[in-house]
């Protein structure tokens, strides 16, 4: 992607991608101008005056993110959502703002994502499914994305602050957006939320200083880190929930007392048409544009439902028991032939108990001990932690590895010595 001249805000239109198949650059320009203010006209005037006359060439260069301007231009072609004319019942239709929209039918959540200039309806879900789906994500993959963006956005020292180039900013923004494009194919909700977060991150006023570029890169890095921070928050709260036999006690002592959860504002709007077919319909929609708002909202909805949380003693993942009886195994698929933890774990555990295998009990003991080491350190001020305390990153990395090792050990894919080595890795 190329970049606009300094002094012009980051304002772009999703509609440009669809309009690239028009007969001429001028027709695209006139279409976009009809939906935007004067500042946008200036932006696209700059773009099209320098654009190649052959629209096919423009299309291939933009869609492939090829830099066809010098480095002192910055063009981000996916920032501003153009207004869209809707057909249907003839009445004036209110536009929803937000890349993820949801509505409720009891506890069932209808989910929609805005992508390629239209809403797409996803399969229905629930608050618990949305929370657990994030906690089942490959955290290492999210960490690698953040580390990559953080490395690309790094500045060696303050002396080199003035040497930050538009090229470096291009690289940071484009790489982050490409990560979200790939993620949308795997997880539409998380991908679209991260995409919206990045668009907000780059919407800064250019004050003419070198910090303009620096702040854009910092904001993008922060956006890429947010899923990890939300993962941490959800993990800790659900882990705490397991200590409570009564969910409402966890809700009052842990959730309601957590100020960070309530320092947010959620947008809800009544809409008089169906988001997919445009037919007349009245519904209340909540709209989201960033990861933290969406998943914290889901956490609060889940907490209201008064459900217990357990940790599967087979695969090691969180789950919500379907009955009030204490349940120790979940319904996730555990074996290659499609059998679940609940189906295979009792026999596997019985087999291990016959062998007087104590490693699983040792795993539970060490997991609780390490969590307490992290919890103790998290309450201390920076610089007051001791060697016995653990950071969240240290605990989470160990917990992920140990959980996978435990599952492999139960399946007979990992030996005793290897499993013990993982358990004792943190001392």
> pLDDT: is 53 or 235 the higher one?
235
Residue 26: CB atoms within 10 Å: 13
Residue 115 tokens read as 């992508």
Q: Is the pLDDT of residue 348 over 60?
A: yes
Provide the CA 184 distance to its chain's centre, in angstroms: 10
For 152, half-sphere exposure in the C-beta direction (CA atoms, 13 angstrom radius) is 23
CA distance 284 to 110: 11
Q: What is the pLDDT of residue 385?
A: 66
Instruction: Specify which of 218-222, 252-256, 398-402 reaches the highest per-range mean pLDDT.
Output: 218-222
Region 157-183: mean pLDDT is 78
Residue 303: CB atoms within 10 Å: 23
Residue with tokens 């480095």: 71
Tens-place pLDDT, residues 392-413: 888 888 888 888 888 888 888 8
> pLDDT: is 347 or 383 the higher one?
347
% of the chain at pLDDT higher than 70: 73
Q: Which of 58-62, 273-277, 358-362, 381-385 has the lowest mean pLDDT?
A: 58-62
Closest-CA residue to 65 (of 175, 147, 146, 152): 175
Q: What is the pLDDT of residue 107?
A: 93
Q: Is the pLDDT of residue 93 over 90?
A: no
- 3-state SS string over the chain? CCECCCCCCCCCCCHHHHHCCCCCHHHHHHHHHCCCCHHHHHHHHHHHHCCCCCHHHHHHHHHCCCCCCCCCCECCCCCCCCCCCCCCCCCCCCCCCCCEEEEEECCEEEEEEEECCEEEECCCECHHHHHHHHHCCCHHHHHHHHHHHHHHCCCCCHHHHHHCCHHHHHHHHHHHHHHHHHHHHHCHHHHHHHHHHHHHHCCCCCCCCCHHHHHHHHHHHHHHHHHHHHHHHHHHHHHHHCCCCCHHHHHHHHHCCCHHHHCCCCEEEEEEECCCCCCEEEEEEEEECCHHHHHHHHHHHHHHCCCCCEECCCCCCEECCCCCCCCCCCCCECCCCCCEHHHHHHHHHHHHHHCCCCHHHHHHHHHHHHHHHHHHHHCCCCCCCCCCCCCHHHHHHHHHHHHHHHHHHHCCCCCHHHHHHHHCCCC
Q: Which of 73-77, 120-124, 142-146, 219-223 has the lowest mean pLDDT?
A: 73-77
CA distance 2 to 69: 6
Q: 0.85 cut: is pTM over it? A: no
> pLDDT: is 172 or 39 the higher one?
172
Residue 155 tokens read as 């500045």
Q: What is the pLDDT of residue 181?
A: 87
Q: What is the pLDDT of residue 18?
A: 39
Mean pLDDT of the residues in the chain = 74
């Amino acid at each position: 992607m190329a970049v606009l001249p300094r002094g012009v805000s980051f304002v772009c239109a999703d509609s440009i991608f669809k309009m690239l198949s028009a007969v001429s650059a001028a027709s695209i320009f006139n279409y976009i101008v009809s939906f935007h203010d004067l500042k946008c006209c200036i932006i696209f005037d700059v773009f099209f005056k320098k654009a190649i006359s052959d629209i096919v060439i423009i299309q291939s260069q933009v869609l492939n993110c090829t830099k066809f301007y010098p480095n002192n231009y910055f063009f981000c072609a996916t920032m501003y959502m153009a207004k869209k004319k809707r057909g249907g019942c003839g009445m004036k239709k209110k536009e929803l703002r937000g890349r993820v929209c949801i509505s409720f039918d009891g506890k069932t959540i209808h989910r929609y994502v805005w992508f390629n200039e239209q809403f797409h309806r996803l399969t229905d879900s629930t608050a618990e499914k949305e929370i657990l789906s994030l906690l089942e994500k490959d955290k290492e993959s999210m960490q690698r994305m953040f580390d990559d963006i953080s490395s690309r956005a790094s500045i060696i020292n303050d002396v080199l602050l003035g040497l930050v180039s538009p090229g470096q900013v291009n690289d940071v923004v484009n790489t982050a957006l490409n990560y979200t494009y790939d993620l949308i194919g795997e997880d539409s909700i998380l991908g679209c939320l991260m995409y919206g977060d990045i668009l907000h991150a780059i919407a800064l006023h250019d004050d003419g200083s070198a910090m303009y570029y620096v702040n854009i890169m910092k904001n993008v890095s922060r956006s890429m880190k947010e899923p990890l921070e939300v993962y941490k928050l959800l993990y800790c709260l659900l882990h705490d929930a397991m200590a409570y036999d009564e969910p409402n006690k966890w809700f009052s002592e842990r959730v309601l007392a957590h100020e960070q959860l309530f320092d947010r504002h959620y947008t809800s709007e009544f809409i008089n048409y169906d988001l997919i077919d445009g037919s007349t319909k009245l519904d209340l929609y909540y709209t989201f544009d960033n990861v933290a708002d969406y998943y914290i909202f889901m956490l609060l909805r889940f907490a209201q439902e008064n459900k217990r949380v357990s940790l599967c003693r087979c695969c090691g993942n969180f789950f919500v028991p379907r009955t009030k009886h204490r349940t120790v195994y979940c319904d996730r698929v555990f074996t290659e032939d499609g059998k679940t933890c609940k189906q295979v774990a009792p026999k596997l555990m019985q087999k291990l108990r016959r062998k007087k295998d104590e490693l699983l009990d040792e795993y539970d003991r060490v997991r609780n001990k390490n969590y307490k080491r992290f919890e103790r350190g998290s309450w201390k001020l920076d610089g007051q932690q001791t060697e016995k305390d653990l950071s969240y990153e240290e605990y989470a990395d160990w917990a992920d590895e140990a959980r996978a090792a435990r599952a492999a050990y139960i399946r007979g894919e990992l030996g005793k010595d290897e499993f013990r080595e993982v358990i004792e890795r943190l001392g």
